[in-house]
Amino acid sequence: MNQDSQKKDTLKKWIWSLLSLLLAVLTIRMVMNQSMALSASQIVETIKLCDKTWLLFAVIAAGMYVWLEGKAIRVALDAAGCHRGAWSGLLYSTSDIYFSAVTPSAMGGQPASAYFMIRDDVPGGVAAAALVLNLIMYTLAIVVLGVLALIVHPTAFLEFNRVSRVLVLVGFAVLCVLSVLFVMVLKKGDRFFGTAKRIAVFLHHRKLLKNVKKSLMKLEKAERDYENCIALIGRQQGIMLQVFVWAFLQRTAQILVPVFLYLSFGGKGNRAVLLFCKQCLITIGYNFVPIPGAMGVSDYLMLDGFKRIVEHNMAYRLELFSRGITFYCCVSLSGILTLIGYLAGRKKEERTAAGLSASSDRKHDDKE
């Protein structure tokens, strides 16, 4: 990639980051303005009066959401013989969560996660296979939770307004189609890599890629690694089920955050199950929206669902705290941890390069 392309890519990332920040500010202001009694002092007072035990559970659940994705990826990597530690798994997760939140695509974090895997000496094909497998199970987990919500509380869907019901139905359809497509990518990796090769050749013809032969050789190696990884995972019974279980627990942890907050604010236990079911459907309704973090859409769905369970102002507080913990805090923390991991890796690479250079100099002196 030439210098102009790099500048355009950097500019695009900055634009989406600024757009995400603007959307976040506008969304929070919208929620604050819609509630006549909700102010900064009211929020502080709510924190003072809430049950701190349930609030702690909400924070822990949000943290588990981040950690569990890394665990799911590590299970897939372990099956391929690439054993990585807990910190590496956390870094794969935080990079995915952060870049998915600040880009319009829900898969925007996949390349960032793959970058850290490859930096940890995970073959490119293995990293791709692990991420595709995790994405499939992540998507299936959302669909399964939605189906379970309808079974447990069939009226949960009907209590949404018309716009929300349309969003949930479209979300169901899109996620089901995506599940099928992801499975096809998993089984037909040759088509994916074939497309990548054609893109490399196209970029070479446009003089945007100099050494096309080297790039094609890397893609061919990645394709072999990918196929070997998929074959290895397929031979190990229960690996896919394990990845699904971890992905299911991850989504459940995130959905439990508003439930714990509801109980923290003095909500009734018998309504907590209904709130959980509604949040499952809300997650389906905004997951397909091509907006960074689905900001605005997710808030609309949550407010519509919560207003049927709690009074007006409490619904706004519950939505604001839920999104604050599950999205804004998680994304901010993920961004910080990703930056720390990136800088730590750069320092390690510099020390390694310096060590190799010093070793080479010593050998040269010995020969003389």
Q: Is the pLDDT of residue 326 over 80?
A: yes
At residue 236, the 3 state secondary structure works out as: coil
CB-neighbour burial class of residue 277 (10 A; exposed 0-12, middle 13-18, buried 19+): buried
Q: How do the domains of the chain map onto residue ranges? A: 44-339
Instruction: Tell me how far apart the alpha carbons of residues 146 and 58 are, in angstroms, rounded to a whole number.
Output: 21
Q: Percentages helix, strand, coil for the chain, rounded to the nearest 5?
A: 85, 0, 15
Q: What pLDDT is stored for residue 261 in this prediction?
A: 94
Tokens 């990136």 — which residue?
A: 342
Instruction: Tell me how far apart the alpha carbons of residues 336 and 5 are, in angstroms, rounded to a whole number.
Output: 27
Q: What pLDDT is stored for residue 23 in this prediction?
A: 53
Mean pLDDT of 146-171: 93
Instruction: Tell me how far apart the alpha carbons of residues 39 and 44 are, in angstroms, rounded to a whole number.
Output: 9
Instruction: Residue 70: name the closest of 43, 46, 54, 88 by CA.
Output: 88
Q: Is the pLDDT of residue 1 over 50?
A: no
* Contact assessment for residue 97 and residue 328, using Cβ atoms and an 8 Å cutoff: no
Instruction: Tell me how far apart the alpha carbons of residues 88 and 193 are, in angstroms, rounded to a whole number.
Output: 26
Q: What pLDDT is stored for residue 109 in this prediction?
A: 78
Q: What pLDDT is stored for residue 24 in this prediction?
A: 52
Confidence of residue 6 (pLDDT cuts 50, 70, 90): very low
Confidence of residue 126 (pLDDT cuts 50, 70, 90): confident
Instruction: Tell me how far apart the alpha carbons of residues 141 and 249 are, in angstroms, rounded to a whole number.
Output: 8
Q: Is the pLDDT of residue 36 over 90?
A: no
Instruction: Give the range among 52-66, 73-87, 242-256, 354-368 with minimum mean pLDDT.
Output: 354-368
Q: Which tens digits make up the pLDDT trace of 229-281? A: 677 666 666 888 899 999 999 999 999 999 999 999 988 888 899 999 999 99
